[in-house]
Amino acid sequence: MKMLNKYNTYICYSEFHLFIALVNVLFDKTKSSYILCPSEIKGLVYSIDIENCVFLFYEKQKIEEAWDEFKKKNKYSFFKYKAGLKSIVTSLFPIAKYDVIFSRSFFFVFNDGTPFVLYLLIYYASSYFTLFEEGELIYSTRRLVRNDIIKRVMGFPLPFGRSAQIKNVQVRFPERLPRYLKKKSSFFDINMMVNHISKEEQKSLLSAFGVPVDSVITDDRKNVLLITQPLSEDTIISEDEKIKLYKSVIAPYMNGYNIYIKPHPRETTDYSLLIDKRYILPSHFPVELFVFLSFNFDVAITLFSTAIHLIPAKTTIILGLDHDSAVEKGWKRICGVKNKL
């Protein structure tokens, strides 16, 4: 007889993922929860105490590096991928120790192309997987190239919700999804979930993530928030091009505004080249935490970060990929995207 699923298990990859997982755990307390986090954010997790929630840690960077090296050595030997992935993950994480839990879990993932999640999709294929929106890529219609087709034939999961194991895709804009994802999509209403969390729980989250409330400078000027993205780190454009791009974006607000920049966690760009470093917010905390604050920005700007929809701002500006021809060209080059966003 098949055992009933007893746990909600979240596979996080960043502080943003952890925040979304915690909001879900606090909203739905009907099941015990396990949250798997990269060992890199262990210090943050130690400050969080939630009933019926267990934190586990995995070596994200080591697993990624080993997987990248394996694929480099076995570039077209797709028949080796499953065995290679299994060897890597099980050598760096005690899967067997948690097999009973994983076998009885509803899985919630944020990136279904990472090696750890790929392992779960393959070896716990009968489980129910929900994919949360992580960014604009989920809304792009992607071409299936030859290697994708070969992987699919060999039973290797394809990313961006296309594998059969992903039963539900939760996003903010289901109507924008490609046709092949719409039938298994649902609306991710984080504002509703946050409103159902008690004030004490909200304060606990703010404290854990170290939201820089005191870093918001109050004076007579208006406040602008620019949410940047890892354009150079992802080789979409060069570092110099990125600095030049964002300089032009904030140029209209250089007089009469406090300009804040919230870098992406993966960015290494020195934004003190553009503004006073006092106005550069910590890259590690999720911008979604602004929904807990009473502070409002006058203007929030981004190229295409979906996180902007949760920023309390009087005016929201999404410039889009076509704002800069180099960004649009670089995006299509690395993503194989057919449609504009």
Are 251 and 280 contained in the same domain?
yes
With 80 as the cut, is the pLDDT of residue 8 above it?
Answer: yes
Given a cut of 70, is residue 214 above it in pLDDT? no
- Do residue 88 and residue 182 come from a single domain? yes
Instruction: Identify whether 202 is part of a domain.
Output: no
If asked whether residues 169 and 73 sit together in one domain, one would say: yes
What would the pLDDT profile of 144-202 be if each residue is shown by its tens digit?
Answer: 777 778 777 778 888 889 899 999 999 988 998 998 899 999 999 887 888 888 888 88
Per the CB < 8 A criterion, the answer to whether 258 and 222 are in contact is yes
**In this structure, are 132 and 273 located in the same domain?**
no
Q: Are residues 19 and 76 in the same domain?
A: yes
Do 141 and 287 share a domain, yes or no? no
Question: What residues pair up with 222 in beta bridges, in sequence order?
Answer: 257
Range of the domain at 40: 7-193
Q: Is residue 236 part of a domain?
A: yes
* 104 and 164 together in one domain: yes
For residues 130, 133, 139, 140, the Cα torsion angle rounded to the nearest 10 degrees is: -90
Residues 188 and 254 in one domain: no
Residue 235 CB-density burial (10 A; 0-12 exposed, 13-18 middle, 19+ buried): exposed
The 10 Å Cβ neighbour count of residue 256 is 9
The CATH number covering residue 288 comes to 3.40.50
Note the pLDDT tens digit of each residue in 40-97.
Answer: 888 888 778 888 899 999 999 999 999 999 999 998 788 889 999 999 999 999 999 9
Give the burial class of 273: count Cβ atoms within 10 A of its Cβ; 0-12 exposed, 13-18 middle, 19 or more buried: exposed
Residue 198 lies in a domain: no
In a domain, 341, yes or no: no
Are 176 and 97 within one domain?
Answer: yes
In a domain, 199, yes or no: no
Record the pTM.
0.79
Confidence of residue 341 (pLDDT cuts 50, 70, 90): very low
